[in-house]
Structure 1
Amino acid sequence: MLKQYLRLRKAKDFALLSQHGRAIYNPLFTLRLRKSGADSRVGFVASKKVFKKAVDRNRVKRRMRAALAGLQGEWPEGFDLLFIIKREVMSVAFAELKEAVRQTFVKIPETMKKPPKKRTPRAKKPSSIVFKQKPSV
């Protein structure tokens, strides 16, 4: 299990990574990363849109945590990492998952040399349209 200080926990941290983090794409997950200066921390996103059942969301996060715990000595120093998990993680063997994480860690220095892309936030849809009601007489 990952220690508490190694985990991303605040919504603000997740938002910063999703808006300003650089991305490394993999068939199993997308890794968003950002230089933090402190110890490396990690977070996971398994969306309801991709994994309908809570059991599946929890299972893929457990598998990712286990893969990262096995590679703890290879973690990049001073980064916040956000793994956005894709559906394919469910069907792949654990050894392949671990190797995919290792290969992604190798790409981090190359990715950080490139200038960051500007990412514009999506426009928010109105949650509900409110109509003015006529006063009753």
Structure 2
Amino acid sequence: MLAQPDRLRRKRDFALLSQKGRVVYAQEFTLRFRPSETTKIGFVASTKVFKRANKRNRVKRRMRAALRDLQTNWPEKLDLMFMIKANVLDVDFAVLKQSILHAFEKIPAALALPPTPRKNIKAKRKTSVVYKKDV
């Protein structure tokens, strides 16, 4: 399990990553990230993709285990949000770790690009947090 200081836990942090984070795509997940003071990691396994709670928990445990093995390769001073896709349960564990490493290698190039906000954020939803534009 990831140590508590290494986890993203607040709704505001996830919303900020969705709106102001940069993105790297992989076959098993979408990685959103933004610079921060320390490295923190969070996971999103939606009920739309994984209907049952035991599957949502299983994919998050699987991702945490892979990241624990790769802890020496974590990018420094970034908040990371893994948006997990449906095929992560079918993929071999070694392939999953290789995919995470490949996504980490793409991060420096993606940092040069402007932030990519999610397109389907609904401002009227109770769960979404809307921030004022930076002036």
| TM-score after normalising by structure 1 | 0.86
- Runs of 5+ unmatched residues, structure 1: 128-137
Which one has a bigger Cα radius of gyration?
1
Secondary structure of 2:83's match? strand
Given that residues 23 and 116 in structure 2 are in contact (C-alpha distance below 8 angstroms), is that contact kept between their aligned partners in structure 1?
A: no
Identity across matched positions, percent: 54
Q: Does 1:20 align with 2:46?
A: no
Given that residues 7 and 41 in structure 2 are in contact (C-alpha distance below 8 angstroms), is that contact kept between their aligned partners in structure 1?
A: yes
Given that residues 19 and 121 in structure 1 are in contact (C-alpha distance below 8 angstroms), is that contact kept between their aligned partners in structure 2?
A: no
Secondary structure of 1:49's match? coil
Aligned pair in 2 of structure 1 residues 54, 105: CA closer, same or farther (>3 Å)?
Answer: same
Matched residue, 1:32 = 32
Aligned pair in 2 of structure 1 residues 123, 72: CA closer, same or farther (>3 Å)?
Answer: closer
Q: 1 CA distance for matches of 2:116 and 2:72?
A: 29
| TM-score after normalising by structure 2 | 0.87
- Runs of 5+ unmatched residues, structure 2: 127-135
Matched residue, 2:61 = 62
Q: Please state how far the C-alpha of 1:93 moved relative to its aligned partner.
A: 0.5
Given that residues 21 and 117 in structure 2 are in contact (C-alpha distance below 8 angstroms), is that contact kept between their aligned partners in structure 1?
A: no
Q: Please state how far the C-alpha of 1:113 moved relative to its aligned partner.
A: 1.1
Matched residue, 2:6 = 6
Secondary structure of 1:47's match? coil
Aligned pair in 2 of structure 1 residues 53, 6: CA closer, same or farther (>3 Å)?
Answer: same
Matched residue, 1:82 = 81
Q: 1 CA distance for matches of 2:60 and 2:119?
A: 28
Structure showing greater relative contact order (alpha-carbon pairs closer than 8 Å, 6 or more residues apart): 2
Root-mean-square deviation over aligned CA pairs: 1.9
- Which 4+ residue blocks in structure 1 deviate beyond 2 angstroms? 115-127
Letter paired with 1:25: Y
Q: Does 1:97 align with 2:96?
A: yes
The size of the alignment, in residue pairs, is: 126
Q: Please state how far the C-alpha of 1:39 moved relative to its aligned partner.
A: 1.7
